Structure formats: structure tokens, C-alpha cells
Amino acid sequence: MKVHRPILMLIALVLFVSLACTTLLGTPETETSTETNPFQVEALPTQTKQATEAVPTETPLPPNPYFTEEFDTDPQWDLVIVPDNANNSQTQSDPKSVTTTFSDSRMIFHIPEDWLSAFYTYTEETYKDVRLDIEFDNQGVNSQQVSLVCRSDGDDKSYELEVGNDGKWVFKVNRRPVSNGASIAIKTGKGINQYTMFCIGNEISFLFNGVEPKGSPYVDRQAGLGAGNVGFVVTAKRAIPVDVQIDWFQVSEP
């Protein structure tokens, strides 16, 4: 077959020229836009929201007005030492001679001089109708008095049940005797006694070691005392020294 050499040469020349142009000029690049889109929304930084939780505060409950004081420590009540007006001696007894200590869950009164009364009063609360109980151990002489007190104003107004270890008792209104008696339920001499007093309305009743004596209740038709403080008293009269250990004192609903 006869080959047309001029045609082949022409085709080869065209291809050569085309490749040469591509090499010299290069492949056209696609233009990339670097302009910022004016409508582009920038992402805002994320803020960590720390929720502050309100811590509920508990309303403190009012103190319970009824309790039993066992004297494991000093309750810091109001202690007042009063000289007794019945002292007819020329030498006045010294209230500073009275000491109180706390040991083995007991409050210990030591009264070395005669005709002194140690009032121990709970002043954080006032009561009108109330029951009082006390238990104590007499470690000293036979002649001493332990009293229960209700509706006290901190001065001379009060109802007071004074009980002696000789078996006798005296009931006082505003520190003045208005009734008295004796009871075989009171343990005389050294030993443990428990006394109870109910102050309800104008009637004051009392028990000695669980026994109500003749003369209880006492009905007050004159003083009509309102609400007041409660407490107890340890008294030395002629016979000294007086050493009394209070085991516990209880305030409760009547």
C-alpha cells in the first residue's frame, strides 16, 4: 500500500506545535475568590452557664420549753444567794461562802454558814401551768430544806414549796408562809428524795416520793400570779454545813 508521507508529516507537525504551546503557557488556573462574604455570620463564643442553686436554709426550731436537766455540765442558770431574815445573830452569814460544783452528773451545793438560801433559776423561758420534779441526795446534816419554785419574777413574787429532811413542809406565796404540814413519805436524814409540784391555774399541788400529803392542793385566792420562771432552792438554817447533791431537775407539761 502506498503511504502518503506528506499528510503524516503535517499531522505530526500540528501535534508538536500543540504540545509546545501547552508547555510554555501552562494550564490556566481557576481563580479562587478571597473576598469575605459580607453576609457571613460569625459564630459567637459559647458561654458556660453556671446555674447558682439556692441552698435552702432551714428555719431553726424554737427550743423545747420542757426538758430534764441532768447536770452533766454547768447549765449556766441564774444563781442568787439570799441571807434569811430569820437570822437573829449579830454576825451576818456571807453569801460568798456558798459553793456549787458539777461532778458525776450532779450539781453539788455546799453551804457552810447558817441562814442562807441558794436560788437556782431557769430564766430562758416563762411558764404558767407547769409540772416540776426534782431528785436529790442529802449528804450533810438532817436539818436542811430543798424547795421547788414556779411563777417567779426573779424577785419576791413566786409560789415556793419548801421541804425539810425532818419530814416537814411549808408552802409560800411571795416568800411568805401560807400553809404547812408534815408527811411520812419524806425520807428523813441522809438519803434520796424526789419531790413534785404542779402549778395549774390557782391550784398548787405537790407530791413527796409520789405521795400527795394532806394540805395539797393549795388554792390561791389572792395573789393570782401569772407566768414566770421556774427553779429550785437549797437552804441552810441553824444546822450546818449543808451538802446537797441534785441528781436532776425536770420541767414538763402538767
Enumerate the domain spans of the chain.
Answer: 67-252
Q: Are 148 and 138 in contact (CB under 8 A)?
A: no
Q: Are 150 and 230 in contact (CB under 8 A)?
A: yes
- H helix intervals, the chain: 5-25
Half-sphere exposure of 232 (CA within 13 A, CB side): 27
pLDDT in tens, 217-236: 999 999 889 999 999 999 99
Instruction: Kindly report the length of the chain.
Output: 254
Residue 85 predicted with pLDDT over 50:
yes
Amino acid at 5: R
Residue 115: burial class (beta carbons within 10 Å; 0-12, 13-18, 19+) = buried
**For residue 96, what pLDDT band results from cuts at 50, 70 and 90?**
very high
142 DSSP assignment: S
The pTM for the full model equals 0.75
SS3 content of the chain, % helix, strand, coil (to 5): 10, 45, 50
Region 208-221: mean pLDDT is 97
Region 10-22: mean pLDDT is 52
pLDDT for position 2:
47
Q: Are 199 and 251 in contact (CB under 8 A)?
A: no
Containing 245, the helix (H) or strand (E) segment is strand 242-252
Q: The CATH number of 67-252 is which of 1.10.10.60, 2.60.120.200, 3.40.50.1100, 1.10.3720.10?
A: 2.60.120.200
Distance of CA 231 to the CA centre of its chain: 19
Q: What number of other Cβ atoms are within 10 A of residue 59's Cβ?
A: 6
d(CA 231, CA 120): 6
95 DSSP assignment: G
Residue 31 predicted with pLDDT over 70:
no
d(CA 247, CA 132): 14
Q: What number of other Cβ atoms are within 10 A of residue 7's Cβ?
A: 9
The percentage of the chain sitting over the pLDDT mark of 90, rounded to a whole number, equals 62
Measured CA distances, 36 to 33, 44, 253 (Å): 9, 17, 86
d(CA 214, CA 207): 10
